[in-house]
């Protein structure tokens, strides 16, 4: 039984020899299988240990805001098959706490989720550049100090959480939001936080819903992760923003007809600058969490979003007589993109909108373009704004005016705010 005893100590696999008596011929075969399995298991465990050590060191360097050391740790690993996305997933606990001063909005935790939205557009070899970009952005920024975890055993109502936020007591709010999700579930917590945030779109430039939505979506997706860092970040954010009172919901509000929603989305995608860009980002966020809301709650969100946009009017982008240059491949596209030839780029992208393959190329080209232009310092809206434009293109490709407006709005923001 020596092999079986050894297996018990070092290997979690069930010892096959235990299934047979020593005098049975199958026993000796079982011993052989167990020894081989032990060797394989230990080798796998050592490999896992090496990966774990690298990831632990990476997270430590991110905590220390040591971007060079973080990049150096993964430089040899990130190009291996599947490794880049594995590294991205491991960043969850630190990414939730990355700050973007002087703003209180959790732009970087939202950006972490946005990278998942980009994943379907990229082939394996294209993912490392995106992950390197996000690692540098997380590393170079300060982190929210860790809020001590405390558990509440008594029932917690959402009114209790609103009260803690009103008091600006983030430790109490963090404990209550954690207890609420344990008692009521993550979906109910997400629904209530989104409705709470809906009352503060003007005050927060939409972030009280858009940041909250994407951060919660990632938390709900990541059942392998402790939700505490996410919930502590949201408690801190809601306290800083003083988002403490859920607005009254109309008892019966119909979802606006599609034609009305199209006109409102065209209005959102009209106009340059950060404020107009957030009109599109906010609608994108609302649509991504629609499954968490009832019809009346979704209608309420749309109404709040329409109010948030104020009185601005829709303005269709004209592509009349642009300098037409057909884009044959990414290298061709990047020549125009790197020179910021906005009209040429928009004319080229507009031709791709009608087909599914073309829309896939739009996403791929733009994501790779912003990664290839990266020189160590980006506004997180370069990624979140792009994600919102791609959402519009994919869901409203058969309304070219809306799709082209969204692409133009994003391109204008990106090119006009680039610092190099």
Binning pLDDT at 50, 70 and 90, where does residue 205 land? Answer: very high
- How many angstroms separate the CA atoms of 171 and 177, rounded? 10
Residue whose tokens read 């009352």: 199
Residue 325 confidence (pLDDT): 64
Does residue 180 or residue 26 have the better pLDDT? 180
Residue 248: pLDDT over 60: yes
pTM value?
0.86
Mean pLDDT, range 74-79, rounded to an integer: 91
Number of CB atoms found within 10 A of residue 56's CB: 11
Q: What is the mean pLDDT of the chain?
A: 88
Residue 267: pLDDT over 50: yes
Residue 320: pLDDT over 90: no
Domain positions in the chain? 2-48, 64-139, 158-241, 330-417
Mean pLDDT, range 245-266, rounded to an integer: 88
Residue 420: pLDDT over 90: no
pLDDT per residue as tens digits for the range 114-137: 999 999 999 989 999 999 999 999
What DSSP string runs through 251-282? SS-PPPPHHHHHHHHHHHT-S-HHHHHHHHHH
Residue 53 confidence (pLDDT): 85
Go through the chain and tell me how many residues it has.
420
Residue 52 confidence (pLDDT): 66
Sequence-distant (6+) residues with CB within 8 A of 109 are 95, 96, 97, 98, 211, 214, 215, 218, 230, 233
């Amino acid at each position: 039984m020596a092999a079986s005893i050894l297996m018990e100590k070092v290997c979690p696999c069930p010892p096959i020899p235990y299934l047979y008596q020593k005098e049975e011929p199958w026993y000796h075969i079982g011993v052989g299988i167990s020894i081989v399995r032990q060797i394989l298991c230990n080798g796998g465990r050592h490999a896992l240990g090496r990966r774990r050590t690298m990831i632990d060191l990476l997270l430590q360097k991110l905590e220390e805001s040591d971007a060079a050391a973080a990049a150096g740790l993964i430089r040899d690993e990130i190009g291996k098959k599947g490794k880049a996305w594995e590294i991205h997933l491991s960043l969850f606990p630190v990414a939730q706490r990355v700050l973007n001063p002087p703003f209180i909005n959790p732009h970087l935790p939202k950006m972490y989720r946005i990278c998942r939205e980009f994943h379907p557009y990229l082939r394996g070899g294209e993912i490392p550049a995106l992950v390197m970009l996000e690692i540098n952005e997380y590393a170079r920024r300060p982190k929210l100090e860790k809020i001590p975890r405390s558990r509440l055993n008594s029932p917690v109502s959402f009114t209790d959480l609103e009260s803690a936020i009103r008091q600006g007591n983030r430790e109490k709010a963090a404990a209550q939001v954690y207890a609420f999700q344990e008692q009521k579930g993550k979906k109910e917590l997400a629904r209530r936080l989104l409705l709470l945030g809906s009352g503060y779109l003007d005050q927060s430039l939409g972030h009280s819903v858009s940041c909250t939505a994407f951060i919660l979506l990632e938390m709900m997706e990541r059942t392998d992760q402790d939700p505490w860092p996410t919930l502590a970040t949201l408690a801190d954010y809601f306290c800083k923003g003083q988002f403490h009172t859920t607005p009254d919901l109309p008892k019966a509000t119909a979802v606006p007809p599609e034609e009305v929603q199209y006109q409102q989305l065209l209005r959102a995608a009209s106009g340059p600058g950060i404020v107009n860009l957030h009109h599109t980002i906010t609608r994108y966020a609302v649509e991504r969490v629609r499954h968490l809301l009832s019809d009346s709650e979704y209608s309420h969100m749309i109404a709040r979003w329409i109010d948030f946009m104020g009185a601005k009017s829709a303005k269709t982008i004209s592509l009349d007589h642009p300098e037409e240059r057909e884009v044959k491949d990414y290298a061709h596209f990047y020549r125009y993109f790197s020179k910021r030839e906005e009209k040429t780029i928009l004319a080229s992208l507009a031709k791709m909108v009608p087909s599914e393959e073309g829309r896939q190329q739009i996403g791929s080209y733009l994501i790779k373009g912003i990664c290839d232009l990266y020189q160590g310092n980006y506004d997180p809206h370069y990624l979140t704004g792009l994600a919102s434009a791609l959402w519009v293109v994919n869901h409203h490709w058969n309304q070219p005016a809306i799709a082209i407006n969204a692409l133009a709005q994003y391109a204008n923001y990106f090119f006009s705010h680039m610092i190099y």
